């Protein structure tokens, strides 16, 4: 597998910087195993985005795993569409294979469907209630159950069924947040004196930390309620053993027919462009607000352009650089990294082979976009096409009048370092690494939706 790229996809969030943490940790854990030539992450609501990610792959053989707990609307419709696959609908057990932009893409089912998830549930239950006795303990596997796709409950149901057969609990129930049987009915749906609730969720967030405890009246990991004991665990998706499940899923769905270990030629050419840009200027290279310069001790030094020359900067290791620069100086989440809010006060020291990864950690995918734009090969997606692709509660943006799209652009793009080519703006070619924006980002789509629904006032 050394000549293969593994891409891990997460949901991410416009609001919560911690939402991507689980994906980041699993990616790092797989990376440390050295099983793949590279491991990269991408998100629906953050950068690197699903639309950009395949261009980032070093190899032409790419395996893509959705780090989602259930199969459904996202894994069957949204993710394939955003990746540029033609597949729509439930996936066969081996996943699907398609060629996208010259790369062989193997798109697998989400990890939540794997039978080994029942072990992760057991591990979470044992953390919150180590001494459970089967005859006195009920297990509730708590799924989201959005109801949009009938398949979305299957992973939760199957995990509950396997645990029921395992006989480790007096009873096992699959209950849901947004559907019947509803988790708020746990007092009547379970009988054992102790109830262990394990959220079958991919990440820690608003639901697991706030709405579920508030709705159920839980005050911590263990709460006495109505004469019974309720133990509430952390979600399954953040457990370290999920990394093993991901690897087993890849192994189980692998075939031997596709082992081309070729490097992608566009990926290589973009790397050469960067190598030339960082070594040609005497004063280093500036990309957006980032400064990259050869360091007197050897290697390269990256920092905010306004911090050049400061001796009091904090060293940030390469593996932490993405998370570190994912928040502004005020602590705000930066889902789109080219907003003009790159934090200050840090530096990263990397060697020549790591400069590209460091640039990607700060500004994901900009190098690959700049390279293609320079060749005149960066596809630009005008707003009507982006709007037509939206579905679910975002479908209404198709009806947005031009002035609302222009308003969203004034609100967001004016504070962004990229130039929105999708809106017809022209990019100044003077920069060594220019920052084109070929299509409206998810933040802009969301802004248009909120303007339309009156959640944000028009000015
Ligand atoms: Fe930046 Fe606007 Fe492009 Fe979003 S749409 S990345 S805010 S230029």
Asked if 179 and 149 touch (Cβ cutoff 8 Å), the reply is no
Rg (CA), the chain: 23
Indicate whether 123 pLDDT > 80.
Answer: yes
Indicate whether 348 pLDDT > 50.
Answer: yes
Average pLDDT rounded to a whole number, residues 412-423: 97
- pLDDT grade for 15, boundaries at 50, 70 and 90: confident
Query: How many angstroms is it from 55 CA to the middle of ligand 1?
Result: 18
Average pLDDT rounded to a whole number, residues 170-194: 95
- Rounded Cα–Cα distance for residues 112 and 71 (Å): 8
Indicate whether 149 pLDDT > 70.
Answer: no
ipTM: 0.99
- 235 in helix, strand or coil? coil
- Rounded Cα–Cα distance for residues 196 and 175 (Å): 12
Q: What is the mean pLDDT of the chain?
A: 93
Q: What are the start-end ranges of the H helices in 76-208?
A: 79-83, 117-128, 154-166, 186-189, 206
Per-residue pLDDT tens over the stretch 215-270: 999 999 999 999 999 999 999 999 999 999 999 999 988 765 555 568 888 899 99
- pLDDT grade for 459, boundaries at 50, 70 and 90: very low
Query: How many angstroms is it from 408 CA to the middle of ligand 1?
Result: 10
Give the pLDDT of residue 256.
53
Q: What are the start-end ranges of the H helices in 413-454?
A: 442-452
Can you list the domains of the chain with their CATH numbers? 5-112+241-264 (3.40.50.1400), 117-238 (3.40.50.1400), 266-370 (3.30.1360.190), 379-452 (3.30.70.2320)
Please tell me the total number of residues recorded for the chain in this structure: 459
Q: State if residue 7 touches ligand 1 by the CB under 6 angstroms criterion.
A: no
- By CB neighbour count within 10 A (0-12 exposed, 13-18 middle, 19+ buried), where does 368 fall? buried
3-state secondary structure 97-121: EEEECCEEEEECCCHHHCCCHHHHH
Q: State if residue 423 touches ligand 1 by the CB under 6 angstroms criterion.
A: no
- pLDDT grade for 11, boundaries at 50, 70 and 90: very high
Query: How many angstroms is it from 262 CA to the middle of ligand 1?
Result: 33
Per-residue pLDDT tens over the stretch 24-35: 999 999 999 999
Task: Pick from 49, 424, 444 the residue to mutate for probing ligand 1's pocket: most ligand atoms within 8 Å of its CB.
Answer: 444
Q: State if residue 408 touches ligand 1 by the CB under 6 angstroms criterion.
A: no
Per-residue pLDDT tens over the stretch 262-317: 888 889 999 999 999 998 877 899 999 999 999 888 899 999 999 999 999 999 99
Q: State if residue 437 touches ligand 1 by the CB under 6 angstroms criterion.
A: yes
Task: Pick from 45, 288, 289, 338 the residue to mutate for probing ligand 1's pocket: most ligand atoms within 8 Å of its CB.
Answer: 338
Task: Pick from 336, 410, 434 the residue to mutate for probing ligand 1's pocket: most ligand atoms within 8 Å of its CB.
Answer: 336
């Amino acid at each position: 597998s050394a000549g293969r790229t593994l891409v891990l996809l997460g949901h991410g969030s416009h609001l919560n910087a911690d939402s991507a943490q689980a994906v980041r940790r699993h990616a790092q854990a797989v990376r440390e195993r050295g099983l793949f030539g590279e491991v990269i992450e991408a998100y629906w609501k953050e950068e690197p985005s699903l639309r950009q990610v395949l261009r980032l792959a070093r190899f032409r053989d790419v395996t893509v795993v959705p780090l989602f707990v259930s199969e459904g609307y996202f894994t069957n419709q949204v993710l394939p569409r955003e990746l540029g696959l033609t597949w729509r609908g439930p996936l066969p057990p081996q996943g699907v294979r398609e060629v996208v932009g010259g790369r062989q893409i193997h798109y697998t089912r989400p990890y939540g469907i794997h039978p080994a998830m029942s072990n992760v549930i057991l591990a979470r239950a044992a953390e919150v209630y180590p001494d459970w006795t089967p005859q006195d303990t009920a297990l509730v596997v708590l799924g989201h159950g959005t109801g949009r796709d009938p398949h979305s409950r299957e992973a939760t149901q199957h995990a509950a069924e396997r645990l029921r057969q395992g006989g480790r609990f007096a009873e096992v129930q699959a209950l849901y947040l947004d559907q019947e049987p509803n988790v708020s009915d746990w007092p009547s749906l379970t009988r054992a004196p102790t109830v262990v609730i394990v959220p079958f969720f991919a990440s820690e967030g608003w639901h697991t930390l706030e709405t579920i405890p508030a709705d159920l009246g839980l005050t911590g990991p263990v709460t006495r309620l109505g004469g019974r004991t309720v133990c509430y665990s952390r979600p399954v998706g953040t457990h370290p053993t999920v990394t093993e499940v991901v690897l087993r899923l890849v192994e189980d769905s692998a075939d031997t027919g596709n082992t081309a270990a070729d490097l992608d030629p566009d990926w290589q050419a973009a790397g050469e462009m960067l190598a030339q840009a960082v070594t040609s200027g005497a004063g280093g290279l500036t990309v957006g607000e980032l400064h990259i310069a050869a360091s007197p001790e050897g290697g390269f030094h990256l920092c905010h352009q306004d911090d050049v020359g400061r001796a009091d900067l904090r060293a940030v290791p390469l593996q932490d650089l993405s998370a570190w620069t994912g928040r502004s100086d005020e602590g705000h989440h930066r889902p789109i990294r080219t907003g003009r809010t790159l934090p200050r006060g840090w530096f990263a020291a990397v060697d020549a082979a790591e400069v590209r990864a460091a640039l990607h950690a700060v500004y994901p995918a900009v190098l690959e976009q700049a390279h293609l734009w320079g060749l005149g090969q960066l596809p630009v997606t005008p707003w009507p096409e982006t709007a037509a692709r939206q579905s679910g509660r975002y479908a209404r943006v198709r009806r947005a009048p031009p002035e609302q799209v222009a308003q969203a652009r004034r609100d967001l793009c004016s504070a962004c370092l990229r130039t929105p080519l999708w809106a017809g703006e022209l990019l100044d070619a003077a920069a060594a690494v220019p920052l084109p924006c070929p299509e409206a980002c998810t933040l802009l789509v969301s802004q248009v939706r909120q303007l339309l629904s009156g959640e944000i006032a028009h000015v």
